[in-house]
């Protein structure tokens, strides 16, 4: 196997995962997100259709944001190769899981099936048909997340470029999972073809066998068209009637006899899982993907044990909520940890803001001061809420929630828009703080910012209103200073700064002059003024 390159674009390459005649798949590192990514490479070999499908997969995924569909980070071309940068899923495909376990339990198969249905329902509602649903295209992470991948042959009703990629009579997909109508014409299939493939995937999940095994042959196509396959319960007697009924309806050879959309199917699945231990299933799946084995679905205990838990669990849950609330609000620390923990709050004062408070970027981080490099604390970043301002109009005051930490030395990093603050401080115990700060609760660190003006650069481009001809050379540009109009000059331009209102007058021989009064915010350091003048009416 060829040695992978050290870099592709801006991405550092860690490993070559797979390679083939049309391209390769690499594992890389995202330069700013600091996470692993998958980089799919397509090397053009004279067939523009493959490049177009590659581009379409990138375009479809760029518009998608769904927990059950793999994320895309980038799409670019380098040399003669095209690349897609995708979310890296650390885990197994459903195909690998079935091969390892032989088959899945009813509830586990339905749990994964429902997650895939959610992904496809999202795609279908955006008029995208996947056309290649199969266990190999379902990835399961070590966190128990189920992700749908590979939209390379998906069709979108929003695009007109489909005709060149799938001609009448052309077949796209994986034969064992394809709906009968997909063999006749892949171009015109709708979401019901995906629903059929979902049924095949569920069949294989609970039996470990494909309903129609084999390659692309006339016998295979004839069997799929007739809908003749062994019932799931003949291959695995443990398959329940609910699974059998879904397989039967989703895999009906006639599209009009299947589910017409996934909304009704998801409602059935939601009712099925209403009394099922869904979280326990997810935990089982996480353990299985991390190297464990799948077990039978946990059953709820009946009789006295069930009655005990029906009473005890709500009580324990209420106590848990009360203890959690006491811990978050600081009661617990003030009552029981006052000798070892300190209380901290961060306050921000902005004497002027050109943005709405909700649009400001305000974020803080805490580090243990352990020497040259601080150690980040295992707590969420600090967020801030707006307080009613008691200062002059335009001032903004923000405050963080109260943070309780063991007494010691810390570093504080706060970003307020493009201003970065670093503070080091010692956090005393709650008892010591009570004496140090005259009875106030905890220590408050206040950070203040003031607005800063920048040099303003102005660029003029004057045009004829009708012909758009450049008339800048014959135009007179004036700026109102000290109550009078002053012709534009380099000396005048050098004195302009942001955070002010400027009045410009533009005129030219044979044209009607125009005036502009412009408010320039502190962050707007370049002004492009492009007036179009109308010819004077004689």
Q: Which residues are known catalytic residues?
A: 132
98 closest CA partner among 236, 194, 230? 236
Q: 88: which DSSP letter?
A: -
66 closest CA partner among 145, 158, 131? 145
- Helices 278-289, 106-124: axis angle to 10 degrees equals 90
**Rounded (10°) CA dihedral 320, 324, 325, 331:** 120
The dihedral sign for the CA sequence 103, 104, 106, 111: negative
Beta strand spans in 373-407 (E): 375-376, 384-387, 396-400, 403-406
Instruction: Give the residues across from 376 on adjacent strands.
Output: 367
144 closest CA partner among 91, 87, 217, 181? 91
Q: How far apart are CA 406 and CA 64, in angstroms?
A: 43
Inter-CA distances, 50 with 6, 47, 59, 71, Å: 26, 6, 14, 21
Count the neighbouring beta carbons within 10 Å of the beta carbon of residue 377. Answer: 14
């Amino acid at each position: 196997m060829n040695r992978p390159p050290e870099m592709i674009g801006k991405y550092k390459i860690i490993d070559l995962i797979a390679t083939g005649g049309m391209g390769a798949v690499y594992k890389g590192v995202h330069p700013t997100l600091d996470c692993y990514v998958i980089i799919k490479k397509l090397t053009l070999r004279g067939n523009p259709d493959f490049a177009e499908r590659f581009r379409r997969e990138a375009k479809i995924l760029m518009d998608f944001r769904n927990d059950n569909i793999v994320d895309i980070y980038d799409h670019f071309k380098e040399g003669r190769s095209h690349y897609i940068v995708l979310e890296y899923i650390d885990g197994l495909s459903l195909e690998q899981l079935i091969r390892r376990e032989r088959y899945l339990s009813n509830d586990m198969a339905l749990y994964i099936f429902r997650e895939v249905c959610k992904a496809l329902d999202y795609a279908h509602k955006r008029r995208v048909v996947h056309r290649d649903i199969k266990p190999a295209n379902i990835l399961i992470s070590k966190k128990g997340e189920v992700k749908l991948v590979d939209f390379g042959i998906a069709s979108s009703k929003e695009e007109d470029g489909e005709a060149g990629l799938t001609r009448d009579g052309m077949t796209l997909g994986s034969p064992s999972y394809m709906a009968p109508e997909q063999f006749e014409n892949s171009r015109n299939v709708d979401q019901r073809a995906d629903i059929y493939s979902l049924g095949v995937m569920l069949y294989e999940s609970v039996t470990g066998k494909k309903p129609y095994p084999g390659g692309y042959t006339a016998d295979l196509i004839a069997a799929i068209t007739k809908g003749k396959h062994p019932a799931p319960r003949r291959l695995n007697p443990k398959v329940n009637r609910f699974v059998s009924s879904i397989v039967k309806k989703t895999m009906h050879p006639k599209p009009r006899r299947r589910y017409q959309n996934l909304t009704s199917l998801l409602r059935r699945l939601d009712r099925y899982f209403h009394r099922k231990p869904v979280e326990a299933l997810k935990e089982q799946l996480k353990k299985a993907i991390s190297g464990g084995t799948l077990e039978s679905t946990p059953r709820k205990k009946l009789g006295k044990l069930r009655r005990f838990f029906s009473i005890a669990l709500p009580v324990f849950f209420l106590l848990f909520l009360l203890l959690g609330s006491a811990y978050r609000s600081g009661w617990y620390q003030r009552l029981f940890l006052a000798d070892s923990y300190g209380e901290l709050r961060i306050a921000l004062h902005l004497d002027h803001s050109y943005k709405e408070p909700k649009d400001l970027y305000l974020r803080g981080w805490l580090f243990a001061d352990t020497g040259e490099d601080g150690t980040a604390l295992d707590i969420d970043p600090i967020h801030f809420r707006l307080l009613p301002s008691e200062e002059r109009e335009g001032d903004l005051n923000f405050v963080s929630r109260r943070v309780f930490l063991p007494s010691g030395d810390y570093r504080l990093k706060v970003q307020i828009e493009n201003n970065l603050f670093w503070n080091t401080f010692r956090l005393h115990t709650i008892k010591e703080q009570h004496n140090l700060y005259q009875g106030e609760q905890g220590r408050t660190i206040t950070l203040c910012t003031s607005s800063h003006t920048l040099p303003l650069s102005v660029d003029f481009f004057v045009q004829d209103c009708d012909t758009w001809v450049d008339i800048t050379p014959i135009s007179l540009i004036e700026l109102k200073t000290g109550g009078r109009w002053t012709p534009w000059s380099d000396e005048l331009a050098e004195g302009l700064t942001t955070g002010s209102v400027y009045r410009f007058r533009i005129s030219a021989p044979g044209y009607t002059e125009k005036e502009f009064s412009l408010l320039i915010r502190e962050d707007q350091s370049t002004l492009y003024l492009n007036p179009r003048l109308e010819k004077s009416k004689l």
